[in-house]
Amino acid sequence: MAATAREDGVRNLAQGPRGCEHYDRACLLKAPCCDKLYTCRLCHDTNEDHQLDRFKVKEVQCINCEKLQHAQQTCEDCSTLFGEYYCSICHLFDKDKRQYHCESCGICRIGPKEDFFHCLKCNLCLTTNLRGKHKCIENVSRQNCPICLEDIHTSRVVAHVLPCGHLLHRTCYEEMLKEGYRCPLCMHSALDMTRYWRQLDTEVAQTPMPSEYQNVTVDILCNDCNGRSTVQFHILGMKCKLCDSYNTAQAGGRRVPVDQQ
């Protein structure tokens, strides 16, 4: 629930629970841009026509004693703990989620820190199991999610790294899989499709084409390995000769043997 503010920017402290729908905290941020009090920058941005710069926040107000004071973790008057976690750079107050501030990202991330590393080329914190095992794309996190077109780098939603190196919000990735399996940017398979390709092998073998199509070939382009090959046309799918993927697209017209023309 976003903090409500009167015209002078002071919240009615008798209303609403501690914190908001975004963060668990016991203070309000004084927005340096408009001098209004909001529980968090997201609440501010939802209600105003401008954005709150988290790095410029200087003052907070305790929700218990209403003391306006410089940003800190504990109230200087009543000793209320504003947040189990506090970052003096981002001015992030929240319950402990094993957060850490990444100097390279410039913002706080949900940890634990030892489970992540910062990829300098991707310019993003990734889980340690992806170290040396992901495809790097320079500054990929500075691009918007191709599904919802919203920011990925500063989003509170976890980013999902596709095999091609592109990023999606985890929630967007899960929704995408309900409709398809390919990266919306490069059409590369977004997950390991090996098992499905083998099932498709069986279906193709059990579904012979009509006699007039049995010797028809077609040029294809593979979206997974970017290779080109000439294969037999089949209505269920055309398999790449280089990597065995069915994630292919027809790259030319069908070819019919001379004796069948």
Is 87 annotated as contributing to ligand binding? Answer: yes
Closest by CA to 114, choosing from 132, 130, 95, 127, is: 127
**Are 22 and 40 within 8 A, CB to CB?**
yes
Q: Distance (Å, rounded) from C-alpha 49 to C-alpha 31?
A: 13
Is 75 annotated as a binding-site member? Answer: yes
The reply, when asked if residue 102 is annotated as ligand binding, is: yes
27 is in an annotated binding site: no
**Known binder of ligand: residue 134?**
yes
Query: Does residue 119 have a known ligand-binding role?
Result: yes
**Is residue 65 annotated as involved in ligand binding?**
yes
Is 125 annotated to bind a ligand? Reply is yes
Confirm or deny that 62 is annotated as ligand binding.
Answer: yes
> Is 91 marked as binding a ligand?
no
Per DSSP (E only), the strands in the chain are 27-30, 37-38, 59-62, 68-70, 85-87, 92-94, 99-102, 107-110, 116-119, 124-127, 159-161, 167-169, 217-222, 228-232, 248-255
Q: How many CB atoms lie within 10 A of CB 144?
A: 14
101 is in an annotated binding site: yes
- Confirm or deny that 153 is annotated as ligand binding: no
33 is in an annotated binding site: yes
Please indicate if the annotation marks 43 as binding a ligand.
yes
Instruction: Say whether 186 counts as a known binding-site residue.
Output: no
Q: Which residues are annotated as a binding site for Zn(2+)?
A: 20, 22, 33-34, 40, 43-44, 50, 62, 65, 75, 78, 87, 90, 101-102, 105, 108, 118-119, 122, 125, 134, 136
Q: Which residues are annotated as a binding site?
A: 20, 22, 33-34, 40, 43-44, 50, 62, 65, 75, 78, 87, 90, 101-102, 105, 108, 118-119, 122, 125, 134, 136
